[in-house]
């Protein structure tokens, strides 16, 4: 137990006997209690001739800390040092008295005579060794105490950092879990607690992911088989229903929706032909990129954003009919409408008039949405612009259908929309439809829409999404049509 014991025997036989006894205790003991040499109370005081029990009782208190024990040792050392000094002076005085007498000092009472001078020298050396060793032990204990204190400080610092990392990762994990399994208060709804900036960031991230998927699909040429239908197939289909009847609505005039279709198309065409500065109608430009210009008016109905949008664009190398054809025909829609998840033709009124049900991909935290609308493609023959070679429109407007449940009865929020795409073909002067090449073609596009998205999305988020997505949509669609038409015959 880091203790050094100095023992003295009267003769070699006693010395051997004590060594054997101590060795037997050391060898036979099986536990720490049996093998350790226990320290007892201090020996008889030479001054008081009484047995001191204070130190023994104090050392038996196992609950004291190491520092308390060290302080006790320091105290005992000071006491021992004073006693040794006293004894040393006593021995020196005795030796001085006996120095002139050659005989050893006779203590009487039958005790053996001793050599005081020799004993004095031996006592001095022994006590010096004891004190030196004791001081060395105290130094070692102090060093170890300091070492353990440093280790403890390091462990405390490590634990503090570990707790900080644990809290950080716990917060991130909770955030991921909330994103993966959001509660009703962390998505679009009447009681949503999601801040508007976080709502927009989440929607923006979701739209970016959809766009990345589309670009990957294009790069890998994994477009749907329906998208590979050639223009010649379309022309064959149209020829079976007579060329002059397509785009007139003749075959749809007996349908229950025709009066609505005809009325909405006329109103929307008139609306699209109006200028953006006429009558102080409050149009604000929000995108100006070369030939493409986009305008909006901020309007709300019952707190819901339904901002009208108008876009004007000029595209080279395509005709008005080609532009409307790819916008109207369902087999191409999945290629340029990136948010489309599913599309069903609920009713085929005729070749130029269809009723669609579209389900759009959900972009968290917004609710999933669908739209039920009729779509009509028409050739305009009123010669409103004499310089235009031809004019075609596609008009979409929300409706109800008897074969599909009413709006907002399922998992989707219903979108209500009114959209018109007006396209006019312009041919270089001196050229005609029969002699023109694609280099001689220009298509003027006017796109107008009024969309009520339904639900509870914040107005600021909707307007930010519109501002971000509408220009991307129009550029993506026109680029798609140019790419599809570049190696095909022109279609007027």
pLDDT 10s digit of each residue in the chain, 492 long?
566 666 778 888 888 888 888 877 776 554 444 434 444 444 333 333 343 444 444 434 433 466 676 677 777 777 777 777 777 777 777 777 766 665 555 555 555 555 666 666 777 777 777 778 778 887 888 888 888 889 999 999 999 999 999 999 888 887 776 655 455 555 555 555 566 666 656 667 766 676 666 666 655 554 443 444 333 444 444 444 445 678 888 888 999 999 999 999 999 999 999 888 655 567 889 889 888 999 998 888 877 788 899 999 999 999 999 999 999 999 998 888 888 888 899 999 998 999 999 988 877 777 788 999 999 999 999 989 999 999 999 999 999 988 777 776 777 888 899 999 999 999 999 888 888 999 999 999 999 999 988 876 777 777 888 888 889 889 999 999 999 998 889 998
The closest of 13, 35, 40 to 24, measured between CA atoms, is 35
Bridge partner list, 289: 292
Q: What is the structure's pLDDT at 30?
A: 44
**CB 187, CB 203: distance < 8 Å:** no
For 153, the 3-state DSSP assignment is helix
Which top CATH class is 256-486?
A: alpha beta
Contacts by residues 432-439 (CB-CB < 8 Å, ≥ 24 positions apart):
433/389, 433/490, 433/492, 436/490, 438/317, 438/318, 438/485, 438/486, 438/490, 439/316, 439/317
**β-bridge mates for residue 296, sequence order:** 284, 309
Residues comprising the chain, all counted: 492
User: What ranges do the domains of the chain cover?
Assistant: 59-168, 256-486
Q: What single DSSP character describes residue 227?
A: G
CA–CA gap between residue 209 and residue 204 (Å, rounded): 9
Measured in degrees and rounded to the nearest 5, phi and psi for residue 397 equal -150, 140
- Rounded distance, CA 392 to CA 421, Å? 8
pLDDT at 361: 85
Residue 451, strand partner residues = 417
∠ at Cα 206 (200, 211), nearest 5°?
Answer: 125
d(CA 252, CA 260): 11
Residues 6+ apart with CB under 8 A from 287: 293, 294, 467, 470, 471
> Which pLDDT value is given to residue 434?
87
């Amino acid at each position: 137990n880091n203790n050094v014991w100095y023992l003295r025997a009267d003769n070699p036989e006693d010395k051997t006997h004590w060594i054997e006894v101590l060795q037997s205790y050391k060898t036979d003991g099986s536990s720490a209690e049996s093998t350790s040499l226990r320290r007892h109370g201090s020996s008889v005081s030479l001054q008081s001739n009484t047995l001191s029990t204070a130190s023994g009782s104090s050392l038996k208190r196992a609950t004291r800390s190491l520092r308390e024990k060290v302080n006790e040792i320091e105290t005992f050392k000071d006491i021992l040092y004073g006693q040794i000094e006293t004894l040393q002076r006593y021995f020196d005085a005795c030796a001085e008295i006996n120095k002139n007498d050659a005989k050893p000092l006779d203590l009487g009472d039958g005790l053996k005579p001793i050599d005081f001078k020799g004993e004095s020298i031996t006592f001095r050396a022994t006590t010096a060794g004891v004190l030196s060793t004791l001081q060395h032990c105290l130094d070692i204990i102090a060093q170890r105490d300091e070492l353990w204190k440093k280790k403890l400080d390091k462990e405390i610092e490590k634990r503090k950092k570990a707790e900080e990392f644990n809290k950080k990762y716990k917060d991130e994990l909770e955030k991921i879990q909330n994103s993966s399994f959001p509660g009703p208060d962390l998505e679009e709804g009447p009681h949503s607690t999601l801040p508007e900036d976080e709502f927009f960031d989440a929607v923006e991230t979701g739209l970016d992911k959809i766009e990345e998927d589309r670009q990957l699909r294009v790069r890998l040429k994994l477009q749907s088989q329906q998208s590979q239908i050639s223009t010649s197939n379309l022309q064959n289909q149209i020829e079976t229903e007579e060329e002059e009847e397509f785009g007139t609505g003749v075959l749809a005039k007996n349908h229950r929706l025709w009066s609505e279709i005809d009325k909405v198309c006329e109103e929307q065409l008139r609306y699209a032909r109006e200028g953006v500065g006429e009558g102080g109608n409050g149009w604000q430009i929000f995108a100006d990129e070369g030939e493409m210009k986009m305008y909006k008016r901020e309007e709300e109905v019952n707190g819901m954003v339904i901002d009208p949008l108008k876009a004007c664009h000029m595209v080279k190398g395509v005709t008005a009919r080609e532009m409307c054809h790819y916008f109207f025909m369902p087999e191409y829609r999945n290629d340029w409408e990136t948010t489309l998840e599913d599309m069903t033709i609920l009713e085929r009124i005729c070749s130029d008039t269809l009723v669609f049900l579209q389900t759009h991909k959900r972009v968290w935290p917004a609710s999933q949405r669908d739209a039920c609308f009729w779509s009509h493609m028409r050739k305009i023959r009123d010669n409103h612009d004499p310089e235009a070679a031809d004019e075609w429109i596609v008009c979409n407007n929300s409706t109800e259908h008897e074969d599909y449940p009413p709006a907002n009865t399922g998992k989707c929020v219903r979108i209500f929309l009114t959209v018109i795409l007006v396209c006019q073909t312009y041919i270089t002067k001196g050229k005609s439809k029969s002699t023109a090449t694609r280099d001689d073609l220009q298509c003027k596009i006017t796109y107008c829409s009024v969309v009520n998205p339904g639900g509870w999305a914040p107005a600021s988020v909707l307007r930010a999404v519109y501002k971000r997505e509408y220009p991307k949509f129009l550029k993506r669609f026109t680029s798609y049509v140019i790419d599809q038409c570049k190696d095909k015959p022109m279609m007027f």
